[in-house]
Amino acid sequence: MVPVRTLLVVDDDPDIRRIAALSLERIGGFRVTLAASGEEAIDHATRDPPDLVLLDVSMPGTDGTATLAALRAHAPTAGVPVVFFTALVSEDEIARLRSLGALGVVHKPFDVVTLPVRIRDMLSAAGLD
């Protein structure tokens, strides 16, 4: 039996959190926890490390890249794969995010039906399926 994977979705926009959770839980069959900020994400992930973090790049306070750095700096979350959410789609920006250690990048707007497939593909590529 395939284990249920836990995703931590981090975005300061409650509408994005809601629809991402709907997509990933109902279509993808993932268990989803939510965080509204980088600080909240670090707290959640340190207490209960998820299988993957889906992390918005552009957030007030601790933004996505700073959150990734903080996750990497804590032993319990150092190895947790991170996928960035971003509306910035230039190749340079994607390359920059990947160079920081992101497993992948999901562009906004995303499709609610195909988002879980993309996440599952990334988990699979990382040997976590």
Partner 1 sequence: MVEASDPAFDALLRAARVDFANGLSVRVDEIEQSAARGAWVEARRAAHKLRGAAAVYGFGALGAASGELEDLLASCECEPDAHARELVDQALHRLRTLAEAAPAEAR
Q: What residue ranges bind partner 1 (CB under 8 A)?
A: 12-13, 15-16, 18-19, 22, 26-29, 58, 60, 87, 108-110, 112-113
- Nearer Cβ to partner 1 (5/77): 5
Token output for 84: 């960035």
- The type of residue at 27 is I
- Nearer Cβ to partner 1 (96/108): 108
- Nearer Cβ to partner 1 (15/92): 15
DSSP symbol at 89: -
DSSP symbol at 80: -
Q: Rounded to the nearest whole angstrom, what is the least distance from the CB of residue 32 to partner 1 in the complex?
A: 12
Rounded to 5°, angle at Cα 98 from 67 and 113 = 85
Q: Rounded to the nearest whole angstrom, what is the least distance from the CB of residue 116 to partner 1 in the complex?
A: 8
Query: Which stretch of DSSP H or E encloses residue 25?
Result: none
Q: Rounded to the nearest whole angstrom, what is the least distance from the CB of residue 15 to partner 1 in the complex?
A: 5
| CA gap 42, 46 in Å, rounded | 6
- Nearer Cβ to partner 1 (70/112): 112
